[in-house]
């Protein structure tokens, strides 16, 4: 059986690469106005995604527009649930204007990082997803508190991997503030994808071989090399004999695959 892999990107963040990336990826995580974006960008990205048959999902964050969602906000879990649900609703309304329905939710920045290791935050996000639409997919870091939360709440979960980011020896992402955290060479990223698919491993920043499981690959749209990296990832996926399709296809739902082509435990 041909393996199906999603390629997702964080869009609507003001970097000017949205249209080009939507010609490559299969899922778009759209900023909901609290770390980047506004009603206009949400509408525009949703419309372009619909035209490219790219699945749209919400990319909610802490209320941290000034620092691009990189700051952990100390708020109650009830407040967090409401904040995430509100952002999902904002994007859902904007997307509906183009006849697009949301398919998934992936938290952003500091919210993603804390939800990876803290179940209370992961559950608050999951409850917001479930209240908005229990059929939406929770997209996050495999083997994390997000996966545990999704299981407890009965939500579909898809694990993603990061070919353009370095991993620590513990299997987490290297802090984005460190100089080696982002891999900008498309050739190096493609080699990492081939290894991830072929061997089920990734090399940490210190050279340690780590097992990794995933069904989606993330491209960071806020990097100058994002479009070249996305194209390299797609070529590497297809060269490995896999089919690129959105998250619904990954978990066995009905939407058709794009051109060319259930979570597994991740590092």
Task: Tell the burial category of 101 from Cβ atoms under 10 Å away from its Cβ (0-12, 13-18, 19+).
Answer: middle
Q: How many angstroms separate the CA atoms of 66 and 44, rounded?
A: 23
Q: Give the pLDDT confidence score for residue 180 in this predicted structure.
A: 82
Distance CA 202, CA 200 (A): 7
Percent of the chain clearing pLDDT 90 (strictly above): 89
Q: What is the pLDDT of residue 224?
A: 84
Q: Encoding tokens for residue 95?
A: 């997307």
- The predicted model gives 149-175 an average pLDDT of 96
Mean pLDDT, residues 147-171: 97
Q: Residues of 133-168 as b/e, b for ≥16 C-beta within 10 angstroms? A: eeebbbbbbbbbbbbebbeebebbbbbbbbbbbbbb
229: phi > 0 → left, psi -120 to 50 → alpha, else beta; which?
Answer: alpha
pLDDT band at residue 253 under the 50/70/90 scheme: confident
65: left (phi over 0), alpha (psi -120 to 50) or beta: alpha
Q: H helices then E strands: how many in the chain?
A: 9, 10
pLDDT band at 223 (very low <50, low <70, confident <90, very high): confident
pLDDT category at 259 given cuts 50, 70, 90 is: very low
- The residue-averaged pLDDT of 131-154 equals 97
Strands 201-203 and 209-211, by their bridges, are antiparallel
What does the block give as tokens for 88?
Answer: 């999902």
- pLDDT single digits (tens) 162-173: 999 999 999 999
Per DSSP, what are the bridge partners of residue 159?
A: 140
CATH T-level assignment (fold) for domain 4-250: TIM Barrel (3.20.20)
Q: pTM of the prediction? A: 0.93
Q: What pLDDT shows up at residue 176?
A: 86
| DSSP-assigned beta bridge partners for residue 58 | 30, 105
- The average pLDDT across 80-102 equals 97
Residue at token pair 């904002």: 90
Q: Does 258 or 110 have the greater pLDDT score?
A: 110
Summarised one tens digit per residue, pLDDT across range 15-40 is 999 999 999 999 999 999 999 999 99
User: Which sequence spans correspond to the domains of the chain?
Assistant: 4-250
pLDDT at 28: 98
The 3-state DSSP class for residue 139 equals: strand
């Amino acid at each position: 059986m041909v393996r199906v892999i999603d390629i997702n990107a964080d869009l609507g963040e003001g970097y000017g690469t949205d249209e080009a990336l939507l010609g490559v990826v299969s899922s778009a995580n759209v900023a909901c106005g609290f770390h980047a974006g506004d009603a206009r960008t949400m509408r525009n990205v949703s419309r372009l995604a619909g035209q490219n048959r790219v699945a749209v999902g919400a990319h909610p964050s802490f209320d941290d527009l000034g620092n691009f969602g990189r700051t952990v906000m100390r708020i109650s879990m009830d407040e967090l649930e409401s904040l995430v649900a509100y952002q999902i609703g904002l994007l859902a309304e904007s997307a509906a204007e183009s006849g697009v329905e949301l398919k998934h939710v992936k938290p952003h920045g500091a919210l993603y990082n804390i939800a990876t290791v803290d179940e209370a935050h992961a559950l608050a996000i999951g409850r917001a997803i479930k209240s908005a639409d229990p059929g939406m997919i929770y997209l996050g870091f495999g083997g994390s508190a997000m996966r545990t939360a999704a299981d407890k709440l009965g939500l579909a979960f898809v694990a993603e991997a990061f070919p353009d980011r370095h991993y620590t020896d513990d299997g987490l992402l290297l802090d984005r503030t460190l100089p080696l955290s982002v891999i900008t060479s498309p050739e190096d990223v493609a080699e990492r994808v081939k290894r991830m698919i072929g061997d089920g491993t990734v090399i940490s920043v210190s050279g340690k071989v780590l097992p990794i499981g995933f069904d989606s690959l993330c491209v960071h749209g806020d990097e100058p090399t994002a479009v070249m990296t996305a194209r390299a990832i797609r070529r590497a996926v297809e060269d490995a004999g896999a089919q690129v399709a959105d998250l619904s296809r990954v978990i066995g739902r009905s939407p058709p695959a794009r051109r060319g082509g259930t979570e597994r435990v991740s590092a």
